């Protein structure tokens, strides 16, 4: 929370838009979440973002949820309702898809692998389900989190929708799935600046599995510190197209501001520049 880039991005955009609002980061414990929401409503707050670890808990405190937030069971953007209470939505999905669709509009008949099955992976998988690839494999290290993750995101999907395929990270099929993938998304924190060598290898799924990566595979890392991550550096040396998580962060913030302000034209460039400037100083 203390290093969140959201205040610098949002405040830079608000200034350019001429809106007399201010975006600030508020630390909040799980026990205080409900009273903080009530307090913000009482003071006329125009909207808020909620981040880990509160995205799921806050969805239960919203009076109304968008269909997407309902499907994910996770909310990152709240907007006040005219008759009181909060509307909850999730802009992480839009943020994740924005850079991907800009450069690769058609994912049908493509194979995707998502590494990790935590909070951000929910938005990633929901986004991929919407672009209809032929295969979505989710790689996790523990069956007890991987299986419920896949079944909850499969629930309520049309019968002809792509089936999520859970795969444990020690499964012998993993190498082939990676080699055949058109897209691999890292949603684990492996490779973040804070990652220590004693926490394991600096690349998700270890070093060796990436040796035979095909140059046609797109690599997308949700991490944006460092830029590029060791995994994306490896991909670049193999000729792969790579994306880090900065654009996802910028685009989810822009989508939230669009909702709060009701203004379609958000100065995304200004937000991106503010985020980059802040990162270069940190």
Which positions are catalytic?
55
Look up tokens 């990633």; give the residue: 124
Question: For the CA atoms of the chain, what is the radius of gyration?
Answer: 19
Distance in Å from the first CA to the final CA of the chain? 14
**Of the candidates 15, 7, 86, 9, which has an alpha carbon nearest to the alpha carbon of residue 46?**
86
**Of the candidates 270, 271, 269, 266, which has an alpha carbon nearest to the alpha carbon of residue 255?**
266
Smallest separation, CB 200 to ligand NAP (Å): 5
Q: Which is nearer to ligand NAP, 9 or 37 (CB)?
A: 9
Nearest to ligand NAP by Cβ — which residue? 118
Q: Which is nearer to ligand NAP, 85 or 141 (CB)?
A: 141
Spell 53-85 as b/e; 16+ CB within 10 A means b: ebbeebbebbeebbebbbbbebbbbbbbeeeeb
Smallest separation, CB 218 to ligand NAP (Å): 16
**Of the candidates 12, 3, 1, 2, which has an alpha carbon nearest to the alpha carbon of residue 254?**
12
Residues 6+ apart with CB under 8 A from 144: none
Residue 281, CA atoms < 13 Å, CB-side half-sphere: 9
Smallest separation, CB 32 to ligand NAP (Å): 20
Q: Which is nearer to ligand NAP, 145 or 261 (CB)?
A: 145
Q: Which is nearer to ligand NAP, 132 or 145 (CB)?
A: 145
Q: Which is nearer to ligand NAP, 37 or 249 (CB)?
A: 249
Q: Which is nearer to ligand NAP, 116 or 166 (CB)?
A: 116
Look up tokens 């991907």; give the residue: 100
Smallest separation, CB 159 to ligand NAP (Å): 27
Residues that bind ligand NAP (CB under 6 A): 52, 95, 116-121, 140-142, 145, 187-190, 192, 200, 222-224, 245, 248-249, 252
Smallest separation, CB 65 to ligand NAP (Å): 20
Smallest separation, CB 174 to ligand NAP (Å): 13
């Amino acid at each position: 929370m203390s290093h969140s880039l959201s205040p610098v991005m949002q405040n830079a955009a608000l200034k350019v838009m001429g809106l007399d609002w201010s975006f600030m980061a508020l630390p909040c414990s799980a026990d205080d979440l409900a009273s903080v929401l009530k307090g913000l409503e009482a003071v006329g707050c125009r909207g808020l973002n909620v981040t880990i670890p509160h995205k799921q808990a806050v969805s239960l405190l919203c009076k109304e949820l968008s269909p997407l937030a309902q499907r994910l069971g996770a909310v990152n953007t709240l907007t006040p309702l005219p008759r009181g209470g909060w509307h909850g939505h999730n802009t992480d999905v839009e943020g994740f898809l924005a850079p991907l669709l800009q450069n690769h509009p058609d994912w049908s008949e493509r194979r995707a692998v998502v590494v990790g099955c935590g909070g951000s992976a929910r938005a990633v998988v929901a986004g991929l389900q919407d672009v209809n690839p032929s295969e979505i494999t989710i790689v996790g290290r523990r069956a007890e989190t991987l299986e419920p993750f896949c079944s909850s995101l499969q629930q309520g999907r049309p019968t002809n929708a792509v089936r999520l395929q859970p795969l444990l990270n020690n499964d012998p099929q993993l190498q082939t799935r990676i080699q055949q993938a058109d897209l691999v998304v890292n949603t684990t924190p492996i490779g973040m600046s804070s990652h220590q060598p004693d926490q394991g290898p600096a690349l998700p799924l270890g070093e060796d599995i990436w040796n035979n990566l095909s140059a046609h595979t797109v690599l997308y890392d949700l991490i944006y510190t460092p830029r590029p991550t060791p995994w994306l550096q490896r991909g670049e040396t193999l000729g792969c197209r790579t994306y880090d998580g900065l654009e996802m962060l910028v685009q989810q913030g822009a989508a939230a501001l669009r909702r709060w302000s009701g203004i379609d034209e958000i100065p995304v460039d200004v937000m991106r520049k503010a985020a980059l400037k802040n990162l270069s100083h940190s």
